[in-house]
Amino acid sequence: MTSPPLPGQPLPPRPAEAHALAVARDLPGTHIVCTTAGRGQAALALARERNDADVTAWFLDLHQHDLAVGEWGGRPARLSAVCAADMPPGPFDLAIVPLGKDGEAELSRDVLQAALVNLAIGGRLVAAIDNPRDTWLHEQLAETGETVRVRPDPDAKPRTVCYVVEKTRELRKVRDFTCEFVFRDRERLLKAVSRPGVFAHRRIDPGARHLLNAVDVAPDTRVLDIGCGSGCVAIGIAARDPSVHVHALDSAARAVESTICGAAMNGLDTVSVALEAGGRVPDPGSYDLALANPPYYSDFRIAQLFVDTAWKALAPGGTLLVVTKQPNWYVEHLPHMWRDVAQELVKTYHIIEAVRPSA
């Protein structure tokens, strides 16, 4: 059993990233791009070992980016961390892509394709997955027409498998994974955009639908959409009244991009969007309504961040509306600071309402 790191020590890479790093160390490369399942450990190690290499760690989520950069400390001058919707353009001569067996398949395909597109001819992709019996990743790589070389985990009890693909030609077909879809808010049909990695990809999430149905906004209302995803809630609310301003934020770069695109497609210039992981908002204390559809993982740490963000953003008397399938945490915690806490069951979802006190 692996011991946990001591306080102040950086986390070790997850198994797939450790395996990919071990394989990459034996391959040449001075222009390197790395994705990560954790804190960018492969990028950091390669940058420290290769003084002549430019290494880029690409993150899709700003929270993950900030955690990694915060742990690096005194990072090599030629190591850069980028949080963006798309992989920084190459050409790279080495790309490292660790994947999880429980990861989103379409996002994995998208990232693998991006790595191959941005590799120079002769460059190598190192892709690993935490499934020693993998066939899926091998099939995805074989479909490129390139030779796929297997690098098994040397551990006596293997937990991962790693593949190396050398790019000999440009991809014959590059797939666009972006999706445009239509959803209805009351009497209006609206357009939205999503990409792999965005919540919820290719559809309006039922929770977002219930949140929209629960909201009525007066003219000139200032609304905060916390964790906007593809932007359906922000777009729906803003489309109801041109005097309503919605500020949407999300830590996922692709969610921000999708919301910006969706607002533009619907001709909504009253929607502003920010890439934000710490809950900062412009003009705190000035919003009338905060809306949130928090994820259910992380022991409600993200839910707490959303609630804290709403508290800072709302004016006294402002309202927070949360949609969730797990209401108990909110019902137990919100009354300590909020007033008029109430919940309503809508099918399998709960709408939680709370008001920021005036004093």
- Average pLDDT rounded to a whole number, residues 25-53: 97
Confidence tier at 7 by pLDDT (50, 70, 90):
very low
> Which ranges of 269-349 would DSSP assign to H, the alpha helix?
301-313, 328-333
pLDDT tens by residue, 111-131: 999 999 999 999 999 999 999
pLDDT computed for residue 5 by the predictor: 52
Rounded mean pLDDT of the chain? 95
> On the CB side of 354, how many CA atoms lie within 13 Å of its CA?
27
Domains identified in the chain and CATH numbers: 15-166 (3.40.50.150), 179-355 (3.40.50.150)
Task: Choose among 260, 298, 301, 258: nearest CA to 279.
Answer: 301
| pTM, entire model | 0.95
pLDDT computed for residue 266 by the predictor: 98
pLDDT tens by residue, 257-303: 999 999 999 999 999 999 999 999 999 999 999 999 998 877 899 99
pLDDT computed for residue 155 by the predictor: 83
Confidence tier at 240 by pLDDT (50, 70, 90):
very high
pLDDT tens by residue, 52-109: 999 999 999 999 999 999 999 888 999 999 999 999 999 999 999 999 999 999 999 9
**Cα–Cα distance, 267 to 34 (Å, whole number):** 37
**Cα–Cα distance, 171 to 175 (Å, whole number):** 10
Share of the chain above pLDDT 90, in %: 92
> On the CB side of 267, how many CA atoms lie within 13 Å of its CA?
4
Q: Angle formed by the axes of helices 15-24 and 41-49, to 10°?
A: 20
**pLDDT at residue 349 above 70?**
yes
pLDDT computed for residue 93 by the predictor: 98
Task: Choose among 77, 13, 79: nearest CA to 44.
Answer: 79
Residue labelled with tokens 């440009």: 170
Confidence tier at 250 by pLDDT (50, 70, 90):
very high
For residues 37 and 234, the model is more confident at 234
pLDDT computed for residue 132 by the predictor: 94
**Cα–Cα distance, 175 to 319 (Å, whole number):** 43
pLDDT computed for residue 1 by the predictor: 43
**Cα–Cα distance, 116 to 114 (Å, whole number):** 5
Q: In the chain, what's the furthest Cα-to-Cα distance? A: 67
**pLDDT at residue 192 above 60?**
yes
